[in-house]
């Protein structure tokens, strides 16, 4: 069964986007396993000097988690019209791994915001960076959960709004189809 890893862009406990991220387990179609990646907050600040001393344990833990998945779903807020620093920091660490587990991996983005734009601008910033990792980006439909305060239950870690649940569920079904094609291609090449 293919496995989808979920990477959270927010570090805070009462995060709206974390609640959306955690709902992916409930909303995924049958036959798609969903696992949570270590939060970017577990990682130290990237410093190229450290590479000579070997990868920090937290980076190795993230690397191991990424090695076990077939596709990635990034669920993130937008900070100042762009990528939250913790998430960018995680991508910078992973980009230095050899081999880079992100290379060739399908990826989708869900942005979440209490505002009306739903974090729309983080998509382009993230796509730009994910292209640099040679990831296979599911660009459409874009998922922006706007007005998130009234659509999630933070403590329960779930999306409560039914229209949003249906949309996320349909998105995961479409992503699953892309993952199935990608994993079959990988098997044919191997
Ligand atoms: C924000 N917020 C925000 N929201 C948005 O829609 N566009 C933006 O550009 C920004 N910029 C921004 C910068 C910084 C530094 C902070 C702390 C916040 C508001 C943000 O969407 C809100 O705090 C969310 O609740 C953060 O996501 P989590 O932590 O709830 O998942």
3-state SS, residue 178: helix
Contact 167 CB / ligand 1 (< 6 Å): no
The alpha carbon of 182 and the centre of ligand 1 are apart by a number of angstroms equal to: 33
User: 10 Å Cβ neighbour count for 3?
Assistant: 14
DSSP state of 89: H
For position 182, what pLDDT does the model report? 86
User: For the whole prediction, is pTM greater than 0.90?
Assistant: yes
Instruction: Give the confidence band of 123 by pLDDT, cuts at 50, 70, 90.
Output: very high
Structure tokens at 46: 């990237």
Distance 53 CA to ligand 1 centre (A): 35
Q: Give the domain range for residue 128.
A: 3-189
Q: Could you read off the pLDDT of 142-168 as tens digits, one per residue?
A: 999 999 999 999 999 999 999 999 999
Evaluate: CB of 16 within 6 angstroms of ligand 1. yes
pLDDT (tens digit per residue) in 20-72: 999 999 999 999 999 999 999 999 999 999 888 889 999 999 999 999 999 99
Q: Which residues pair with 111 in a beta bridge?
A: 76, 144
Q: How many domains does the chain have?
A: 1
Q: What is the ipTM of this complex?
A: 0.99
- Separation between Cα atoms, residue 183 and residue 31, nearest integer Å: 13
CATH number (domain holding residue 144): 3.40.50.360
């Amino acid at each position: 069964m293919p496995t989808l890893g979920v990477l959270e862009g927010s570090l805070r406990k009462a995060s709206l986007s974390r609640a959306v991220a955690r709902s992916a387990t409930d909303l995924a179609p049958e036959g798609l396993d969903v696992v949570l990646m270590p939060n970017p907050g577990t990682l130290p600040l990237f410093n190229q000097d450290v590479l000579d001393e070997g990868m920090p344990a937290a980076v190795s833990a993230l690397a191991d988690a990424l090695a076990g998945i077939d596709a990635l779903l990034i669920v993130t807020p937008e900070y100042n019209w762009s990528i939250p620093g913790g998430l960018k920091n995680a991508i910078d660490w992973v980009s230095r791994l050899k081999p880079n587990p992100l290379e060739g991996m399908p990826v989708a983005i869900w942005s979440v915001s209490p505002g009306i734009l739903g974090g729309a601008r983080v998509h382009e910033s993230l796509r730009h960076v994910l292209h640099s990792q040679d990831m296979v980006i599911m660009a459409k439909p874009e998922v922006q959960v706007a007005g998130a305060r009234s659509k999630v239950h933070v403590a329960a870690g779930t999306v409560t709004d039914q229209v949003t649940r249906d949309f996320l569920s349909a998105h995961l079904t479409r992503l699953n189809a892309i993952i199935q094609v990608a994993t079959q291609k990988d098997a044919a090449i191997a």
